[in-house]
Structure 1
Amino acid sequence: MYHIAPMPTAIDAQISQQLHDCETATIGHFRESGFVDPAIRSLLTQTRVVGTAVTLSLPPTDGTLLNHAMRLVRPGDVLVIDRQGDNRHACWGGVMTQVAKGLGVAGVIIDGMATDALTIREQEFPVWCRGVSALTTKLAGLGGTMNLPVSVGGLVIHPGDIILADENGVLVVPADEAEAIAAKAVSLQEQENVILQRVARGERLPDISGATELVDKINRGVT
């Protein structure tokens, strides 16, 4: 049986642009939650996507629902695929890459394997996965879900969550938190630029950051 829920609300264009100016690693400086297992890596050396999570859960050998999803996805969507623990079968390859790119899909996050890595790189289509495999899914008709919560990279991800992904990793945030996170990240990146300018003028990083002062206080027993 295939369980297909309605498509989620798409990300606001202004928030999307704000997040696109942010690095996942910058947000990692001030946030602990929402980061996908770093073993799920980008196949491209440099990339950044922001989009609306469209979630799928696929049985290990069955790619039927993923094929069907190509009539439902919208420009700017990010497919988030739960492979139900399978790390042998690739559900994504060269044909899916070219079809999804033509439809304007922003990227795909797979808790499992992809194939046709060369085509993916030639097409410069953003794919995050655990690795590559020559063994692929088939039109097996075994069922699956779309736009229901999934487990990917150690997180429960809901349809409509916001995905920010780059070569450093994948971040998932609730839609109602995205604007505040983007604003804080942009501010922090601006502060980092100022710090680098101060270092270039001869100041020492631990003096600017306060790290040396903190070490000294702790060693003196000062709270």
Structure 2
Amino acid sequence: MNIEDKADVRRRYLEVDTSNVGDALDELGYLDQGLAPEFSPYPATAGRLAGWAYTIRGQMSPYELGGDAEKMRACQQLQPGDISVWSGDGEGICYFGELIAIGMKERGCAGALVDGGIRDVSWIGKQDFPVYARYRTPVQSIARWKVNAAQVPVFLRGATTKLVRVNPGDFVLADEDGAIVIPAKVVERVLVEAERLTEKEKAIRSDLETGLSLQAALDKYGHV
């Protein structure tokens, strides 16, 4: 898929809900793609998150105070439309804050999905850079947690299964209902079905607003 096509897919995904994407994935047999309910937008007004997964993995590794060179190298490889997907075992610490968020945005990164913590939430909110994470914390990663790989398969906490595998190039979508991962090989099929469900829901809402009863709508449109 070329850059223009990827940008168009991302634009279209921003117009559908995670709930419809989840239903489309179910129909294709992908039943465990939802992420844990703890994933939330930071700040709460962050808006929707949509883009192609660029994975970053780290682990608790005590070291001398100073920068994390691997983290910086990983972030420098981000491309426009990517979502940086952070995984690891860093309970209680943040994986990044305001300055790295600014650096990611400068490279065209469309946001971040963090199976861990972030900080500088109010300042990140001023960057128009959506971040979904499991928690926020003032405790930095420096001297505690280091990046050890990028663009490798990672595993994030799931909603209906313990872990959800995220491969580089999968698609990430998050909104008010939560976050979900669409495997790369079905990104376009899921999108077409989610768009169909979206149009169906719009028609139902329109009929309900003009006085059609819920039962009549179900009789007309079937299961939703």
| TM-score normalised by the chain length of structure 1 | 0.81
Alignment partners' CA distance in 2, 1:78 and 1:66 = 15
Query: Residues 105-184 of structure 1 correspond to what in structure 2 (within 5 A)?
Result: 105-138=109-142, 144-153=148-157, 154-184=163-193
Task: From the CA coordinates, give the structure whose radius of gyration is larger.
Answer: 1
Cα displacement (A) at 1:136 = 0.7
Within the candidate set 77, 81, 94, 1:76 is matched to: 81
Report the aligned-residue RMSD: 2.5
Distance 1:125 1:143, change over 3 A: closer
Q: How far apart, in 2, do the equivalents of 1:78 and 1:148 lie?
A: 14
Instruction: Give the SS at the match of 2:95.
Output: strand
| Number of the residue aligned with 2:13 | 19
Partner SS for 1:120: helix
Question: Secondary structure of 1:12's partner?
Answer: helix
The one-letter code of the counterpart of 1:122 is: K
Contact 1:61 1:136 in 2 (8 A): no
Task: Check whether the contact 2:155–2:166 (CA below 8 A) recurs between aligned residues.
Answer: yes
- Corresponding position of 1:101: 105
Instruction: Give the 3 Å change call, closer, same or farther, for CA 106–61 of structure 1 in structure 2.
Output: farther
CA contact (8 A) 1:46 1:166 kept: no
Q: In 2, distance between residues paired with 1:74 and 1:134?
A: 28
Q: 1:61 and 1:167, CA in 2 relative to 1: closer, same or farther beyond 3 A? A: farther
1:40 matched residue in structure 2? 39
Distance 1:22 1:127 in 2: 18
Matched residues, number: 204
Shift of 1:21: 1.9
**100-109 or 38-47, which moves further after superposition?**
38-47
The code of the aligned residue for 1:48 comes to R
* Structure-2 separation of matches of 1:41 and 1:65: 26
Percent identical residues:
24
Q: In 2, Cα distance between the equivalents of 1:76 and 1:189?
A: 23
Quick one: which of 203, 207, 217 aligns to 1:198?
207
Q: What is the TM-score normalised by the length of structure 2?
A: 0.81
Alpha-carbon distance in structure 1 between the residues aligned to 2:184 and 2:146: 32
Per-residue Cα deviation, 1:61-81 (whole angstroms, up to 9, x for no partner): 575422221221111111111
Unaligned runs of 5+ in 2: 63-67, 158-162
